[in-house]
């Protein structure tokens, strides 16, 4: 997609997200959650990037992240470890530990992680691990069975950044892992549903019959140009119809590895088109993430 940086051998510098944010085109319900964002430390000496990475982002620290949530009326958030840090989850964990009621996390680990480290991450709010098949620096698919066995005692899920079109043969393997499954960015299906109809039907089946979760996120990564983002609407609506109880929304802030920077609030406003009725939209923003990430049924302090 021309709006995203194609993973490759080079390391690409990323633009920063827009500073100015505004409320979306609908009333955001209490306890709404952004289930997909990243924090990137300003102190690169203390929190160095892995040399083997696909992109180099500017800082997106804790304060800027919380300001983004506040500006959009989002009381809860889920941080996802970005590939630029490899398995060094320290910065994300430090942010989680300071906001135990408001934030949860998805870490990147390998199969050698200690039980003590897993127990500590769980106490800090980590509720899943990410497998990254698209960008260098993440943990790839070859270790997913070993990692699934390690996280099973904690009830964590496994989140996959994959292109479902190119990875259809992986879906049965993923289904055998014995843990919850979350698919990033609508499976990287393109905005042309007809082109990806086989992959879409396969993902719909996994959502409807296997109870997999899908993040309604990254619309700008699925189109050639930002002005074409509404072409993603039929795809998002098809996934919602497949199982509205397994859909969550994510901003993907600070929108790393892109050439053209989207407006974060525009991405949230699109949800009003994808899920026009309040009940479904409230499930996507409040109820479903509370179930998936184990948020308490109370207002964050």
Is 75 inside any structural domain?
Answer: yes
Write down the pLDDT at residue 296: 83
d(Cα 294, Cα 298) in Å, to the nearest integer? 12
Burial of 123 (0-12, 13-18, 19+ CB in 10 A): exposed
We report the CATH number of the domain holding residue 289 as 3.20.20.140
Write down the pLDDT at residue 110: 92
Is 18 inside any structural domain?
Answer: no
pTM of the entire structure? 0.93
Domain encompassing residue 178:
30-293
Is 274 inside any structural domain?
Answer: yes
Write down the pLDDT at residue 259: 87
Write down the pLDDT at residue 143: 87
Write down the pLDDT at residue 10: 52
Check residues 120 and 23 and name the one with the higher pLDDT.
120
Residues involved in catalysis? 252
d(Cα 85, Cα 88) in Å, to the nearest integer? 5
Flag whether pLDDT at 3 surpasses 70: no
**Domains identified in the chain, total number:** 1
Strands 33-37, 213-216: pairing kind? unpaired
Check residues 169 and 60 and name the one with the higher pLDDT.
60
d(Cα 299, Cα 166) in Å, to the nearest integer? 41
Residue-wise pLDDT tens digits, 113-122? 999 999 999 9
Flag whether pLDDT at 272 surpasses 70: yes
Does residue 132 contact residue 140 with C-beta atoms inside 8 Å?
yes
């Amino acid at each position: 997609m021309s709006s995203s940086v194609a993973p490759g051998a080079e390391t690409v510098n990323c633009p920063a997200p827009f500073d100015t944010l505004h409320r979306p085109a609908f009333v955001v319900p209490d306890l709404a959650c952004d289930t997909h964002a990243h924090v990137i430390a300003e102190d690169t000496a203390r929190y160095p990037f892995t040399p083997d990475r696909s992109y180099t982002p500017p800082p997106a620290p804790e304060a800027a992240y919380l300001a983004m949530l506040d500006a959009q009326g989002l009381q809860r958030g889920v941080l996802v470890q970005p590939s630029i840090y490899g398995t060094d989850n320290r910065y994300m964990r430090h942010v989680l530990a300071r906001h135990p009621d408001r934030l949860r996390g998805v870490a990147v680990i390998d199969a050698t992680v200690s039980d003590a480290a897993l127990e500590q991450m769980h106490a800090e709010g980590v509720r899943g691990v990410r497998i990254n098949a698209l960008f260098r620096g993440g943990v790839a698919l070859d270790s997913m069975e070993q990692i699934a066995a390690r996280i099973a005692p904690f009830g964590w899920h496994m989140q996959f950044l994959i292109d479902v079109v190119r990875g259809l043969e992986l879906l049965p393997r993923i289904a055998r892992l014995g843990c919850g499954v979350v698919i990033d960015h609508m499976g990287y299906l393109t905005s042309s549903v007809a082109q990806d109809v086989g992959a879409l039907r396969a993902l719909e089946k996994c959502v409807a019959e296997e109870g997999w979760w899908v993040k309604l996120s990254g619309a700008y990564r699925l189109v050639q140009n930002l002005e074409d983002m509404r072409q993603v609407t039929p795809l998002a609506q098809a996934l919602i119809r497949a199982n509205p109880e397994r859909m969550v929304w994510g901003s993907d802030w600070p929108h790393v590895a892109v050439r053209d920077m989207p407006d974060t609030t525009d991405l949230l406003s699109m949800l009003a088109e994808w899920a026009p009725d309040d009940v479904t939209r409230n499930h996507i923003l409040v109820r479903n993430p509370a179930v998936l990430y184990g948020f308490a049924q109370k207002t964050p302090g």
